[in-house]
Structure 1
Amino acid sequence: MLTNPYSGHGRARDIAESAGRRLRESGASITELIGDDADDALRLARKAVAERPAALVATGGDGLIGIALQAVAESGVPLGVIPAGTGNDHAREYGIPIGDPEAAADVIIAGTAMDVDLGHVRVADGREYWFGTVLATGFDSLVSDRTNRMTWPHGRMRYNLAILAEFLNLRPLPFRLVLDAPGGESGADGAQSGRREPDGGRIIDEDVVLAAVGNTRSYGGGMLICPDADPSDGLLDLTVIRYIPRRTLVRLFPTVFRGTHVRRPEVITTRARRIEISSPGINAYADGDNLGPLPAAITAVPRALRLLVPAARAALTQDSAES
Structure 2
Amino acid sequence: MYLFIVNTMSGNGKGMKVWKRIESMLQKRQVHYLVEFSASPTHTAELVRQTAKKHKIKVLAVVGGDGTVQSMIHSVIGRNIPLGIIPAGSGNDLARGLKIPLNPKEALHYLLTGGTGKIDIIQIGNQYCMTVVGIGIDAKVAQTVNRSRYKKWFNRLKLGHLAYVLSFIQVLTHYRPVKATIKVDGKEWTFPKTWLIAVANFPNYGGGMIICPGACYFDGEFHICIVDGLSRWELLRIFPAVYRGKHIYRSGVTLLKGKTIEVISDSPMPAHGDGEIMGETPMKIDILEKGLSVICHD
Q: What does 1:16-55 align with in structure 2 at a 5 Å threshold?
A: 16-50=19-53, 51-55=55-59
* Partner residue of 2:202 out of 216, 228, 251: 216
Q: Tell me the residue number matched to 1:120.
A: 123
Match of 2:158 in 1: none
- In the other structure, the counterpart of 1:145 is 143
Q: Out of 69, 74, 77, which is 1:70 matched to?
A: 74
Higher strand share: 2
1:182-238, CA deviations, whole angstroms, 9 ceiling, x for partnerless residues? xxxxxxxxxxxxxxxxxxx31121121100011100001110001100101011111
Report the Cα offset of residue 144 of structure 1.
3.0
Aligned to 2:236: 250
> What is the RMSD of the two structures over their aligned residues, measured on CA atoms?
2.1
Q: Does 1:57 align with 2:55?
A: no
Judge conservation of contact 1:177–1:203 (CA < 8 Å) in 2: yes
2:125 paired with 1:133: no
Q: 1:290 is aligned with what amino acid?
A: I
Question: Taking every aligned residue pair, what percent have the same amino acid on both sides?
Answer: 28
Unmatched runs of 5 consecutive residues or more in structure 2: 155-161
Shift of 1:145: 3.5
1:174 to 164, 179, 182: 179
Query: How far 1:154 moved relative to its partner?
Result: 6.0
Give the secondary-structure state (helix, strand or coil) at the position aligned to 2:182.
strand
Secondary structure of 1:107's partner?
helix
Kindly tell me: are residues 3 and 154 of structure 1, through their superposed partners in 2, closer, same or farther at Cα, counting changes over 3 Å?
closer
Number of matched pairs? 285
2:171 aligned partner, one-letter code: E
Q: Is the 8 A contact 2:5 2:60 kept in 1?
A: yes
2:82 maps to a residue whose letter is P
Structure 1 unaligned regions, length at least 5: 123-127, 181-200, 315-323
| d(CA) in 2 for partners of 1:27, 1:136 | 42
Paired with 1:282 and 1:150, the residues of 2 have a C-alpha distance of 21
Q: Measure the CA separation in 2 of the matches of 1:139 and 1:273.
A: 23
Distance 1:38 1:295 in 2: 25
The one of 255, 263, 278 equivalent to 1:291 is 278
Moved more, 152-161 or 113-122: 152-161
Correspondence list, 1:154-233, <5 A: 155-156=153-154, 162-180=167-185, 201-206=186-191, 207-233=193-219
TM-score, length of structure 1 as denominator length: 0.82
SS at match of 2:36: coil
What do residues 144-180 of structure 1 show as CA deviations (whole Å, max 9, x unaligned)? 3345566688645875554233211242222121111
Residues 65 and 250 of structure 1: CA distance in aligned 2, closer, same or farther (over 3 Å)? same
Relative distance call for 1:82 and 1:245 in structure 2 (3 A) is: same
Q: Describe the SS at the equivalent of 2:219.
A: coil
Match of 1:105 in 2: 108
Q: Deviations over 1:38-96 (max 9, x none)?
A: 21111112333455400100001111111122222232211010011121111111111
TM-score, scaled relative to structure 2? 0.88
Change (3 A) 1:177 1:3: same
**Per the alignment, do residues 96 and 273 of structure 1 end up closer, same or farther by CA in structure 2, a change over 3 Å counting?**
same
Structure 2: how far apart are the matches of 1:284 and 1:172? Answer: 14
Counterpart residue type for residue 195 of structure 2: V
Call closer, same or farther: CA 1:240–1:153 in 2, change over 3 Å. Answer: closer
